[in-house]
Amino acid sequence: MRLLFLVLLMLVGLIQYPLWVGKGGWFKVWEYQREVAAQRETNEGLRARNAALEAEVRDLDSGTGALEERARGDLGMMREGEVFVHVLPPGTPLPSANAVPQATAPKPAARAGSAPRR
């Protein structure tokens, strides 16, 4: 009787092995479920980013406000007549007067075939 019980227990174990550990077993299914959940989170973040980019593109297509904001922020452009004020963070040393380069007028280009003036 005891031997029969052990044999049946081994048979049940052999039958259960592929179900738990085999190629399509429960452990693989749980691992795949975790991977799918992580990928869904990644996809949701990418969907939100895509929606924001799509809204920005629509705004750039439809109006000049976003285009002007992009030109000001990213390219540092200003309108004619505006004044640029640069605010330094606290604790930043001010540049000395000697360190600021003076604007110079551009030199006229030499004409081809003419001798330089002295």
Tens-digit pLDDT profile for residues 40-87:
999 999 999 999 999 888 887 887 777 787 788 788 788 888 887 878
From residue 102, alpha-carbon distances to 16, 61, 99 in Å are 85, 41, 9
Of 82, 55, 81, the C-alpha closest to 66 is: 55
Q: Which residue has the higher pLDDT, 96 or 101?
A: 96
Q: Please, are residues 7 and 1 in contact by the beta-carbon 8 Å criterion?
A: no
Q: Quickly tell me which residue has 């190629």 as its tokens.
A: 23
pLDDT of residue 97: 60
CA distance linking residue 31 with residue 23, whole number of Å: 12
Would you give the DSSP letter of residue 13?
H
pLDDT of residue 91: 87
pLDDT of residue 41: 97
CA distance linking residue 24 with residue 17, whole number of Å: 11
Q: In the numeric block, which tokens belong to residue 42?
A: 């990644």
pLDDT interval class at 118 (50, 70, 90): very low
pTM of the model: 0.44
Question: For residue 46, what are the contacts with CB-CB under 8 A and spacing of at least 6?
Answer: none
